[in-house]
Amino acid sequence: MEILGKSYFCDQRLAWRVLGAQDLSEGHFRGWAMAFHFLVALAFPMLALSLFSYDSTLENITNFSLTITSLATIVKFGLYTRRLSNLAEMENIIAEMDKRVAGLEQRICHRLMKKRLHFLSRGFLLISCIVIVSLQMSFLFKDKRSLPYPSWFPLDWTSSWSSYIVAVAYQQLVVFVQVFQNYVGDSFPPLALFLIAQQCQLLNLRISGIGFQGESLQANEAELRECIKDQKQLYRLLDLSRSVITWPMFVQFIVIAINVGVTVFGLVFYVETVYDRIYYVSFLIGLTLETYPLCFYGTNMENSFHELHYAAFRCNWVEQSRSFRSTMLILSERTKMNQLLLAGGLVPIHLSTFQATCKAAYSFFTLMSNTMKQET
């Protein structure tokens, strides 16, 4: 059996290494990674210093949206960096569980899991590239000199070409890095939850198939005990994933709810040009895809753990020894616990939360619309 545990997150590992998160997680705070991220993080105060200072309402909306997005990206990246050391243990557990894959049905399921994981990872990367392209369109087709994103800049870029080139280059670097940070931060949690759900499905197949292969009673009992070890490994994998993603996802849910409301408000009331409309629609789609796959796979994972309880009773336990049945009861009792991940210990990573996020975004949109009507 080919061991693939270390290749499931290869794109994310490469991204974290390129972004310097690997060095920071190992405590190298005086190297290039710290200086690089300090330079990128300066974009947030530059955006914040110009909040609501523009004559154009659309520019104020764009600036506010980018400000909270930039802050959330910085915070999420820092939270991931603190827990990045858990990734190695996660990969080792996955590799150990891959060794247990046996039989045609399990091999087919495992092969499909690998294909879907890589498709999902590359899909997030494609979306990130589309977002970068759409962000540039409204800037490239502007008639007068302006920055790609409304922000304060310490140089007088309005009267100096050299200062203007520096300002544009700096903003393009920041956007590229933060979109890349968002890619790795947004793709890792759905991948981890999908992987846990699929490993749970493989364990379901192993448990439910015990007693139907003509093995001896002793061999069936030994296989059941191995499945219990797999179950412990699966719970450990879930705990490690929880420690990595719970707080970044809590930040994401809050920011997405606000950002979707702000984006729809600008799109409905203030966008006029085709290029601005493309930018806002692409940004809105990107925000939605940050949250929906995560909630979907969180629900899928919870359902997979529920099926473990029924898998124990689908095996041929009737014809097994008394000790086998006693061990099976221990396994089935452990499966009764609801394995639902909570972002920040408060918000379920579940489809119900995606619905709640949409409702919160609508409430924020309604609040801004009512405020606008009162002012006019």
Least confident segment among 201-210, 246-255, 269-278: 269-278
pLDDT of 138 reads 63
Q: Return the DSSP state at 54.
A: -
The amino acid present at 294, given as its one-letter code, is: L
| 266-305 per-position pLDDT tens digit | 888 888 878 778 878 888 888 888 888 899 999 999 988 8
Mean pLDDT, to the nearest integer, of 29-49?
A: 79
- Residues 258, 239: Cα–Cα separation, whole Å: 29
What is the rounded average pLDDT for all residues in the chain?
Answer: 84
The amino acid present at 81, given as its one-letter code, is: T
Q: Return the DSSP state at 158.
A: T
Q: Is the pLDDT of residue 240 over 90?
A: yes
Tokens standing for residue 288: 């939605």
- Residues 176, 39: Cα–Cα separation, whole Å: 13
For the ranges 5-19, 45-59, 256-270, the maximum mean pLDDT occurs at 256-270
| 103-129 per-position pLDDT tens digit | 888 899 989 998 899 888 888 888 888
Which contiguous run of DSSP H or E holds residue 89?
Answer: helix 86-98
**CA nearest to 28, candidates 36, 37, 20, 16:** 20
From residue 332, give the alpha-carbon distance in Å to each of 224, 237, 307, 339, 364.
Answer: 11, 19, 10, 14, 45
- Which residues make Cβ contacts (< 8 Å) with residue 275, sequence separation at least 6? 137, 138, 141
Question: How many helices (H) and strands (E) would you count in the chain?
Answer: 12, 2
Please report, for the chain, the start and end positions of each structural domain, with discontinuous segments joined by +.
9-375
